[in-house]
Amino acid sequence: MKKAISMLIVSIGLNLSIANPTKAINIKINFDDLSNQPAQDATIPFEQANGSKTLNGVTFENSPNGQPLSVTGDQYRVDSVTPGPTFGVPHSGNYFLNNRDTTAFLTTSLVLTEAWFGRVEYYGYGGGATSVTVVPLGVNGSLDPGVTVSLLSDRDYDPNKGGANGLPGLMVKMDTSHFLNLQGITGYRIDLGQDNVNQANWAADDFTFTSATPVPWETDALSVIGSTVIFGLGVWGKQKFGQHQKNKKD
C-alpha cells in the first residue's frame, strides 16, 4: 500500500510539472474597428477615433510636446487637390496608426511580440521616417536596447526622373519576441530615424501583445490530479488483485 501511495504522489508531481502553469493570451491591435472610424480618405486623432487613448489595455500617446497620434485611412492624401499619392499603406484592413514627427509611447504591462511599420509619402517627392526603433521600458527606464527596422523606401520614387512619382512604402515586420525574456515592462518608446525633421512620420499596424496569466488551480490542476488519482488507484487495484491470485495458488 505504501509503495502504491508513493507511486501515486510521484505520478501527480510529474503530471503537474508537465502541465503548463501559465496560459498565453495573445492580443492583436489594428485600427479598423474603432468606435468613431474616420472615412477612408481622412485622418483624425487616435483618441477621437477610439473614444480614449487606451485600446485593449494599451495606451497610445505621442511625446508631450508633439501632436497626437492619428488613425488614417488608406485613401487619405496630403495633397487632395492634384491629387498627390496616398499617405500610407496598412498591413491589414484599411486603416493604420501614424505619428506626428516625434517619439511615441505605448503604456502597458503586456509584452509586445510583433508590429508592422511603413514609410509614408507626402507629395510624391520622398519623405517620412527612414527607420523605427521600439524600446521596452520599466520603472527605471529602458530594459533593453530595443529593436530597429529600416523602412522600405518610397515605391517608384526616383529624384532623377523629376516630378512627384513617389508612393508610400509597404510595411515591414518588426519581431520583438525576445521581449518575452524581460521582466517589469511598463511600456514602450517608439523612436524614429529621419532624413527631414519636418517629415518624419511612420505608419504602423497590427501590434501583437502577449500576456501570461496563472492557470486557475481549481480548474486545471484538479483535473490533472483527478485523472492521476484514478490511474493510480487502478494500478494499485491491479497489484492487489495480482497478489490475491498469487496467494490463492500458494
pTM: 0.76
Same-domain check for residues 7 and 35: no
Same-domain check for residues 6 and 102: no
Residue 250's pLDDT band, with cuts at 50, 70 and 90, is low
Mean pLDDT of the 18-38 span: 83
* pLDDT at residue 200 tops 90: no
Same-domain check for residues 148 and 29: yes
Residue 124's pLDDT band, with cuts at 50, 70 and 90, is confident
pLDDT at 99: 92
Same-domain check for residues 7 and 66: no
Same-domain check for residues 93 and 174: yes
pLDDT in tens, 80-95: 998 889 999 999 999 9
Same-domain check for residues 108 and 49: yes
Same-domain check for residues 31 and 13: no
DSSP the chain: -HHHHHHHHHHHHHHHHHS-SEEEEEEEE-SSS-TTPPPTT-EEEHHHHHSSSEETTEEEEE-TTSPPPEEEETT--S-TTTT---S---SSSSEEEE--SS-EEEE-SSEEEEEEEEE--SSSS--SEEEEEEEEEETTEESS--EEEEPPPPBT--TTT-SS--BPPPPEEEE-GGGGG-S---EEEEEEEES-TT---EEEEEEEEEEEEEPPIIIIIHHHHHHHHHHHHHHHHHHHHHHHHHHHH-
Q: 229 is in which domain, residue-wise?
A: 2-18+216-249
Same-domain check for residues 115 and 193: yes
Same-domain check for residues 181 and 243: no
For residue 127, the domain's CATH number is: 2.60.120
Burial per residue of 150-184, b for 16 or more beta-carbon CB atoms within 10 angstroms, e otherwise? ebbebeebeeeeeebbbebbebbebebeebeeeee
Q: Is the dihedral of CA 171, 176, 177, 178 positive or negative?
A: positive
Residue 179's pLDDT band, with cuts at 50, 70 and 90, is very high
Q: How far apart are CA 27 and CA 14, in angstroms?
A: 31
| Percent over 90 (pLDDT), the chain | 54
Same-domain check for residues 52 and 71: yes
Residue 128's pLDDT band, with cuts at 50, 70 and 90, is confident
Same-domain check for residues 128 and 236: no
| Least confidently predicted of 14-18, 118-122, 162-166, 168-172 | 14-18
Residue 132's pLDDT band, with cuts at 50, 70 and 90, is very high
Total domain count, the chain: 2
For residue 37, the number of C-alpha atoms closer than 13 Å in the C-beta half-sphere is 14
| Least confidently predicted of 65-79, 153-167, 187-201, 225-239 | 225-239
Same-domain check for residues 68 and 7: no
